């Protein structure tokens, strides 16, 4: 749909694969994970460009449009039998470990593993990339957010594997202790919504 989304999806797929390898997934599961991660935002084809690229806060109505994309993507991908093992990543990458995510409000290990992995990779890439509504976060702040989200937003196993993947890449985080201020700021910063700011 646009150059940013294409690059984002490719980066999320690559990082998801590295997380999956650290967890010890078999080759077939890794292939399905990579496919699902690459298509995780395909449902955004249904979101109007002026909403996706809006530089300011989203209205509650616009946020409903954004929140629909995992289900739209799942419905599209469900039509292809070859993608049946990739559907968990597409539908569940916005679920949260504590059950506060969407679209189904699943929690913990009730969230498919692919969704839990892509959730970490997706947030990492979103925070460390420039968006229409904010500049990329500094590396240490983004790392602090992911670490603070373990056991709240993210599967702790996936966060550990993510940190190992960073270290394997030669990126050694200087700050890895949980930063609750960063966690709160990220919740407010990822597509801010008018009524959530009040």
Read off the pLDDT of residues 82-108 as tens digits, 9 standing for 90 and up.
999 999 999 999 999 999 999 999 999
Residue 50: pLDDT band with limits 50, 70, 90: confident
The crossing angle, in degrees rounded to 10, of helices 113-127 and 139-149 is 150
Residue 2: pLDDT band with limits 50, 70, 90: low
Q: Which residue has the higher pLDDT, 7 or 3?
A: 7
CA distance 2 to 103: 24
Are 51 and 58 spatial neighbours (Cβ–Cβ below 8 Å)? Answer: yes
Q: Has residue 194 got a pLDDT over 70?
A: no
Please give the DSSP secondary-structure letter assigned to residue 178.
-
Q: Has residue 4 got a pLDDT over 60?
A: yes
Mean pLDDT of 38-64: 90
* Average pLDDT over all residues of the chain: 87
Cα first-last separation, the chain: 32
Burial readout 60-75 (b: 16 or more C-beta within 10 A, e: otherwise): eebbebbebbbbbbbe
Q: Has residue 137 got a pLDDT over 60?
A: yes
Distance of CA 132 to the CA centre of its chain: 17
CA distance 65 to 46: 8
Q: Has residue 197 got a pLDDT over 50?
A: no
CA distance 197 to 54: 17
CA distance 181 to 21: 31
Q: Which residue has the higher pLDDT, 164 or 194?
A: 164
CA distance 2 to 187: 24
Are 35 and 25 spatial neighbours (Cβ–Cβ below 8 Å)? Answer: no
Range in 71-75, 144-148, 158-162, 168-172 the model is least confident about: 168-172
Q: Has residue 24 got a pLDDT over 60?
A: yes
């Amino acid at each position: 749909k646009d150059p940013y989304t294409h690059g984002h999806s490719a980066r999320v797929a690559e990082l998801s694969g590295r997380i999956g390898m650290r967890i010890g997934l078999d080759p077939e599961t890794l292939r399905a994970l990579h496919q699902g991660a690459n298509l995780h935002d395909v449902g955004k084809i249904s979101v109007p460009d002026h909403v996706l690229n809006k530089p300011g806060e989203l209205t509650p109505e616009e946020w409903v449009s954004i929140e629909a994309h995992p289900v739209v993507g799942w419905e599209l991908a469900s039509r292809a039998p070859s993608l049946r093992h990739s559907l968990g990543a597409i539908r569940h990458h916005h679920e949260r470990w504590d059950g506060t995510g969407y679209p189904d409000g699943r929690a913990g290990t009730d969230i498919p593993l692919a969704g839990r992995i892509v959730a970490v990779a997706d947030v990492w890439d979103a925070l460390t990339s420039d968006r229409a509504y904010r500049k990329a976060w500094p590396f240490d702040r983004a790392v602090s957010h992911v670490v603070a989200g373990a056991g709240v937003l993210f599967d702790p196993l996936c966060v550990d594997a993510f940190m190992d993947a960073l270290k394997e890449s030669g990126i050694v985080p200087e700050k890895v202790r949980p930063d609750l201020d960063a966690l709160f700021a990220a919740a407010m910063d990822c597509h801010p919504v008018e009524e959530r700011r009040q």
